């Protein structure tokens, strides 16, 4: 519960004001240190004993202050007093609440403590996000989406009544592309929107737009993209033969772009020199493929399946074969929306989490496909959407493949996803200079809140917000982003 | 003689249309490839283009059926992203007319000023010359960024593209009012305001109306593109949504409706310019 206030605190600076980058100011940083030195220390040791630290970068960093704890100056009366008060408060907060303690362990107590030390003078946001007892500030919301299957939870929550269930009257509005979606979100025409997971980071950093604090409370889908090649390239399925190819991606700040770049770079091609990557709106990809303007694309579904359906391309590789469980699209909202209408946000958040959980169940996928295929939503033949969602699909080469996890839905916004994305943004020159990876990740990706809300809803969120990922056999350790970045032969760094 | 000629012209139009439709139909038939042998289980997952070798281009009859569907049910509303063609056209017309009328309110007075005063003409000329050739869509990102409302942005884009033809034509019309008429007014000691409304305006009206006619044509061209960009509602969005489904049938029916409405708008202004026309 404690860490909750951290990402929601509007006063929190982005660029970690203290030496470790976790706290808004040096004073808070010191306060956290004092705390770890006092009451929770036994808890911390217990956690270490359980060996959780090894598997969690968050805990690693959480443990750091304990290791480097500057001794509380016992001669400093104020510090002593503060510590005594704070440890009393901590006991009060955590006393007897097993689930909260579990959550605290998951996010690392240093993070949680730092946050608690700021919101103990009754932070309005804490009340809003976890308890949310107040009435909804507004019930009529506009949510933008781009018509692709990644947006399934956001879209299907409308026809299947998930928004209503939480007292919301939501209009889901189809948007021509991500640039427009971003601009309409920045213009506050949309209260929240379907975005790509790198976009909230880019918007917060001001890459490609005015820097505005943005948040990503939940991931929409994992996997669910594919590399599609034109039929004429049937016999050029080795990426080393792709020199001179023109590929389409839906947006610059997209997993599609980063995964495609990663994939060809692993095959020894420089994505900026050896191939051409063009931003093409997904609906235009199929037409461009059949017209020969594109040799292939890494795009969201249903447009991979649509190329197969129309006989113009074949599915060369599902992105789950590049990175099993990679994030793709996101449910994103501005920090302002969360701050100004916390109760509405929470209701919306729960509706999205609920819808995502429903989409996760394979038995529901057929029903969802039928609900979102009509003109009002995706505007696609039902069979195309169904093949994407159920994972039983024609691959364009004459085979019927069965990949139930072709697309999956998992709302948990791991901080490590954000760190990976930031490493790739830096790798390809989309951002420059030193990045405080963890601070940005934790500000934008609301993993700790996701864990709290999911727990409250009876779901089982993961215990850590950082984990290592394996992309094409190579391990990414979120605790060492710079070393990871330096490990690539082809990069702009 | 006159009626017989229009009958003949009408018949010629019909013949041309029939020829065009027949050629289209034959083209589609010619594109039909051979049916492909496929495992039925696999074929069930594929579209007609892949299984039957069907052409991506629809036959004229299919487009006709689609048009009929729209015409018979123009005002249905099945959610924010699926509305009947009538509603979509109404949204587009509202945007075009709002932008157009705003432009008229600005362009005609300023045009008057420029036409009456050579100094103003010289002073404003560089601005007009620079702004005039800018594609209205180039304004779109700027409008979205500053106005922060996609609907208003679309109206602004219509405004900015309609304003120049009206401004220039008004200025030209006012400047070329015959000197004799103005001299007569001056001899009769008619006041400046009265001269403007009773002499200059009627004299310049046909030129002003021509400017308005050019403007509405451009505005209707631009609204489709603007709505394709910002989406949401309107005929431009309709075409984009059909394109999103790769439905050429839907795109063609959108084109037909755009053409029809554009023609009606032009006819309305042509009718208006007849009202103010005069013979010297």
The model's pLDDT over A39-93, given as tens digits with 9 standing for 90+, comes to: 334 444 444 344 333 344 444 443 344 333 444 444 444 444 444 444 444 444 4
Same domain, A189 and A270: no
Residue B106: predicted pLDDT: 93
Residue A107: pLDDT band (50, 70, 90) is low
Same domain, A274 and A411: no
Cα dihedral value A289, A293, A299, A303, nearest 10? -30
* Segment B33-76, tens digit of pLDDT: 777 777 777 777 787 777 776 777 888 888 898 889 888 888 88
Q: Is residue A398 part of a domain?
A: no
Residue that is last in its domain, among A98, A128, A158: A128
Cα A168 to Cα A186, A350, A376, A449: the distances in Å are 22, 11, 19, 21
- Strand pairing partners for A334? A214
Domains: count for chain A = 3
Residue B265: pLDDT band (50, 70, 90) is very high
Chain B interface mutation, best of A142, A145, A187, A304, highest count of B Cβ atoms under 10 Å = A187
Asked whether the beta carbons of A329 and A197 are under 8 A apart, the reply is yes
Same domain, A96 and A20: yes
Which CATH number do you get for residue A217? 3.40.190.10
Q: Is residue A135 part of a domain?
A: no
Q: Is residue A492 part of a domain?
A: no
Q: ω before A302 within 30° of 0 (cis)?
A: yes
Residue A114: pLDDT band (50, 70, 90) is low
d(CA A383, CA A391): 11
B125 touches chain A (CB under 8 A): no
Domains of chain B, first to last = 85-276 (1.10.3720.10)
A-chain residues near B141 (CB < 8 A): 183
Query: Which pair of tokens denotes residue A212?
Result: 């505005």
The mean pLDDT of B107-111, rounded to a whole number, is 90
Asked whether the beta carbons of A219 and A410 are under 8 A apart, the reply is yes
Residue A22: predicted pLDDT: 52
* Segment B205-252, tens digit of pLDDT: 899 999 999 999 999 988 888 888 776 788 988 888 888 778 888 889
Cα A242 to Cα A96, A236, A427: the distances in Å are 61, 7, 21
Average pLDDT over chain A reads 75
Residue A31: pLDDT band (50, 70, 90) is low
A263 touches chain B (CB under 8 A): no
DSSP three-state, residue A227: strand
Asked whether the beta carbons of A359 and A156 are under 8 A apart, the reply is yes
Residue A365: predicted pLDDT: 86
Give percent of chain A above pLDDT 90.
4
Q: Is residue A400 part of a domain?
A: no
Q: Which residue has the higher pLDDT, B2 or A238?
A: A238
Same domain, A385 and A410: yes
A287 touches chain B (CB under 8 A): yes
Write phi, then psi, for A171 (nearest 5 degrees). -100, 120
B34 touches chain A (CB under 8 A): no
Domain span at residue A284? Answer: 225-320
Residue that is last in its domain, among A300, A320, A340: A320
Distance from CA of A244 to the nearest CA of B (A): 27
Q: Is residue A366 part of a domain?
A: yes
A-chain residues near B232 (CB < 8 A): 173-175
Q: Directed axis angle between helix A109-119 and helix A41-49, to 10°?
A: 150
Residue that is last in its domain, among A286, A320, A354: A320
A374 touches chain B (CB under 8 A): yes
Same domain, A147 and A217: yes
- Of the listed ranges A59-63, B92-96, B143-147, B217-221, the least confidently predicted one is A59-63
Pairing of strands A221-223, A400-402: unpaired
A-chain residues near B149 (CB < 8 A): 187, 189
């Amino acid at each position: 519960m404690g860490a909750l206030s951290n990402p929601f605190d509007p006063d929190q600076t982005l660029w970690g004001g203290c030496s470790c980058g976790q706290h808004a100011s040096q004073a808070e940083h010191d306060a956290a240190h004092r705390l770890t030195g006092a009451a929770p220390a036994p808890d911390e040791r217990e956690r270490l004993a359980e060996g959780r630290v090894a598997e969690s970068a968050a805990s690693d960093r959480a443990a750091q202050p304990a290791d480097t704890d500057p001794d509380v100056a016992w001669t400093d009366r104020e510090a002593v007093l503060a510590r005594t008060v704070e440890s009393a408060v901590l006991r009060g907060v955590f006393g007897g609440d097993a689930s909260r303690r579990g959550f605290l362990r998951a996010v690392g107590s240093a993070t949680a403590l730092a946050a608690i030390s700021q919101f103990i003078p009754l932070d309005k946001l804490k009340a809003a996000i976890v308890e949310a007892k107040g009435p909804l500030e507004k019930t009529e919301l506009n949510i933008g989406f781009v018509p692709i299957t990644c947006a399934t939870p956001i879209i299907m929550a409308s026809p299947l009544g998930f928004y209503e269930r939480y007292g919301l009257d939501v209009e889901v509005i189809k948007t021509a592309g991500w640039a427009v979606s971003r601009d309409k979100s920045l213009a506050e025409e949309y209260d929240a929107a379907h975005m790509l997971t790198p976009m909230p980071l880019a918007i917060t950093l001001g890459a490609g737009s005015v820097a505005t604090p943005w948040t990503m409370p939940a991931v929409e889908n994992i996997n669910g993209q594919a590399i599609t090649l034109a039929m004429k390239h049937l016999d050029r399925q080795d990426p080393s033969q792709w020199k001179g190819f023109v590929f389409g991606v839906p947006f610059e700040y997209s997993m599609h772009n980063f995964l495609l770049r990663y994939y060809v770079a692993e095959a020894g091609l420089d994505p900026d020199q050896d191939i051409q990557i063009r931003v093409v709106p997904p609906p235009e990809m199929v037409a461009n493929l059949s017209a020969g303007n594109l040799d292939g694309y890494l795009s969201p579904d249903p447009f991979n399946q649509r190329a197969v359906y129309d006989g113009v391309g074949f599915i060369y590789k599902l992105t789950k074969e590049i990175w099993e469980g990679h994030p793709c699209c996101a449910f994103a909202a501005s920090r302002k929306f969360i701050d100004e209408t916390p109760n509405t946000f929470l209701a919306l958040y729960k509706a999205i989490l609920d819808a995502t959980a429903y989409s996760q169940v394979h038995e529901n996928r057929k029903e969802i496909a039928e609900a979102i295929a009509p003109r009002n939503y995706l505007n696609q033949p039902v069979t195309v959407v169904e093949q994407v969602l159920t994972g039983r699909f024609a691959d364009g080469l004459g085979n019927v493949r069965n990949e139930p996890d072709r697309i999956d839905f998992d709302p948990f916004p791991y901080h490590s996803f954000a760190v990976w994305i930031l490493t790739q943004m830096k790798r390809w020159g989309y951002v420059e200079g030193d990045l405080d990876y963890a601070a940005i990740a934790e500000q934008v990706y609301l993993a700790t809140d996701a864990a709290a809300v999911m727990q409250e809803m009876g779901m089982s969120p993961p215990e850590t917000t950082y984990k290592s990922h394996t992309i094409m056999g190579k391990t990414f350790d979120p605790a060492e982003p710079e070393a990871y970045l330096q490990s690539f032969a082809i990069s702009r760094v | 003689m006159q009626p017989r000629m229009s009958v003949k012209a009408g018949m010629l139009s019909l013949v041309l249309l029939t020829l065009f439709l027949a050629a289209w139909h034959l083209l589609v038939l010619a594109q039909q490839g051979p049916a492909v042998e496929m495992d039925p289980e696999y074929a069930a997952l594929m579209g007609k283009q892949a299984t039957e070798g069907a052409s991506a281009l629809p036959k004229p009859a299919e487009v006709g059926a689609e048009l009929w569907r729209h015409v018979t049910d123009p005002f249905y509303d099945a959610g924010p992203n699926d509305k009947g063609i009538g509603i979509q056209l109404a949204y587009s017309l509202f945007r075009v007319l709002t932008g157009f009328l705003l432009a008229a309110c600005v362009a005609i007075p300023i045009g008057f000023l420029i036409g009456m005063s050579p100094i103003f003409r010289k002073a404003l000329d560089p601005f007009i010359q620079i702004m005039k050739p800018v594609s209205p869509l180039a304004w779109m990102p700027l409008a979205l960024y500053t106005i922060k409302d996609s609907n208003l942005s679309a109206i602004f884009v219509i405004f900015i593209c309609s304003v120049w033809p009206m401004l220039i034509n008004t200025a030209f019309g006012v400047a070329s009012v015959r000197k004799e008429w103005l001299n007569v007014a001056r001899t009769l000691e008619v006041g400046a305001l009265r001269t403007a409304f009773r002499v200059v305006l009627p004299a310049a009206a046909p030129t002003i109306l021509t400017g308005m006619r050019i403007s509405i044509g451009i505005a209707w061209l631009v609204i489709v593109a603007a709505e394709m960009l910002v989406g949401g509602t309107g005929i431009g969005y309709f075409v984009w949504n059909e394109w999103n489904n790769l439905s050429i049938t839907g795109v063609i029916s959108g084109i037909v409706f755009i053409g029809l409405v554009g023609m009606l708008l032009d006819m309305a202004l042509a009718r208006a310019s007849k009202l103010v026309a005069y013979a010297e």
